[in-house]
Amino acid sequence: MVISRSLIVFLLILVAPLNNAIAKEYYSEDGSSCTDEDFKRGVANIAKAKELEQGGNYRQSYEILKGAACLWATDDDKTFREKLREVEAIQKRLYKELGDEAEKKGQLQEAFDWYRKGESYKKDEERVMMKMAKAKPDDFGTIKTAFDYFKGNHIADSLKTIRAMAVQNAKPWLAEEDKQFGSKQSEIYGKAFGSLEQAQKWLEFAEAPENRMAAERAEKRGDSMASLTTPYYLKETIKYYNFAGKTEKIKSVQGKAKKLGDETKGRGESDLAVDYYHIAGLNNEAHDLQKRTETKQREDEGKRQKKFKKDQDSLEKELGM
């Protein structure tokens, strides 16, 4: 189909008035529509925010700056760039000023959050993070947060300080474990391993050789019980060696448990043998022996019941019953 030149001209003339009739529209950052009046209020908010900032009303300045949302609405590139730079400059100052204000009040987490928003106040962030750690030196969550922050930002000196704090928190648990492990009371002794776990939790933040203190203690405990032969102490020995990461020593204890299992099975002490086989990691052997034992016990009980019935019948016959 060929469209004539005169038809094209006619269509352009027809459409032109419609284009001129279309109203200019703005859209804010969140996608909602803005009017010219909204845009003007946004510009006015910048002036108000500056005034409030100069008067030390930083939080009010920050809040009113949010009302400048329609500044992002303009389709005038030059105006957009100018106002954007102006807003960003005010925001950057406010992040620092609000952070300083919160820090002076002792609101350290809030101060840290403001500095972090500013993205240009790393030294302030670091200082406040260390303040938070020193304010709660024995709080695991606080120390972990500080450790992750300083490690993630490669701040060696501060990380060293946090590591030292963690080690100091581990030492009381190690001292407590020492008293508990040596106790003759089973209830107190039973708490010793838990104390070792608490110490290790802190030592995860430490470096060698200090990060091995709990593991070395655990190996020492395992060694002290390694010569004992009851199932309870064999299990305890393996538990401590496992904590210490001593695979070869665990295998040695399991080998001894297998030997003890074989010996007790040979003496007919099947229940005890089952325990030893479980400790040795020979669960299939333990299961099979237990089934055979239970089967034999049922057979023996059946024989006993038959004998009892036979003896009872004989007695009744003798008595003429």
Q: What is the rounded average pLDDT for all residues in the chain?
A: 83
Q: Which amino acid is at 256?
A: K
Residue 282: Cβ within 10 Å count: 18
- Under the banding of pLDDT at 50, 70 and 90, the label for residue 161 is very high
CA 46 to the chain's CA centroid: 42
120 close to 93: Cβ distance less than 8 angstroms: no
Question: What's the rounded Cα separation, in Å, for the pair 155 and 159?
Answer: 6
Q: Is the pLDDT of residue 8 over 70?
A: no
Residue 35 · residue 25 · CB < 8 Å = no
CA-wise closest residue to 190 among 242, 250, 236: 236
Count other C-beta atoms under 10 Å from residue 148's C-beta: 12
Cβ 22 vs Cβ 70: under 8 Å? no
pLDDT, position 33: 59
Is pLDDT larger for residue 52 or for residue 219?
Answer: 219
> Measured between alpha carbons, how far is residue 259 from residues 78, 242, 255, 265, 274 in Å?
87, 21, 6, 10, 12
Domain regions of the chain by residue span:
32-119
Tens digits of per-residue pLDDT, 266-313? 998 989 999 999 999 999 998 998 888 777 666 666 667 666 666 665
Q: What is the pLDDT of residue 188?
A: 93
- Count Cα neighbours of 121 within 13 Å in the Cβ-side half-sphere: 23
Average pLDDT over residues 79-89: 76
Query: Is the pLDDT reported for residue 19 higher than 50?
Result: no
What pLDDT digit, counting tens, does each position of 29-66 carry?
444 556 667 667 777 888 888 888 889 889 988 888 77
Per-residue pLDDT for 28 more than 50?
A: no
Which residue reads 């492990």 in tokens? 181
Please report the pLDDT score of residue 286 as a whole number.
87
Of the CA atoms within 13 Å of residue 210, those in its CB half-sphere come to 18
The whole-model pTM stands at 0.74
The Cα–Cα gap between 160 and 165 comes to: 9
Task: From 253, 252, 273, select the one nearest 262 (Cα to Cα).
Answer: 273
Buried b (16+ CB within 10 A) or exposed e, 295-321: eeeeeeeeeeeeeeeeeeeeeeeeeee
Sequence length of the chain is 321
Reported as type and span, the H/E element at residue 117 is: helix 108-118
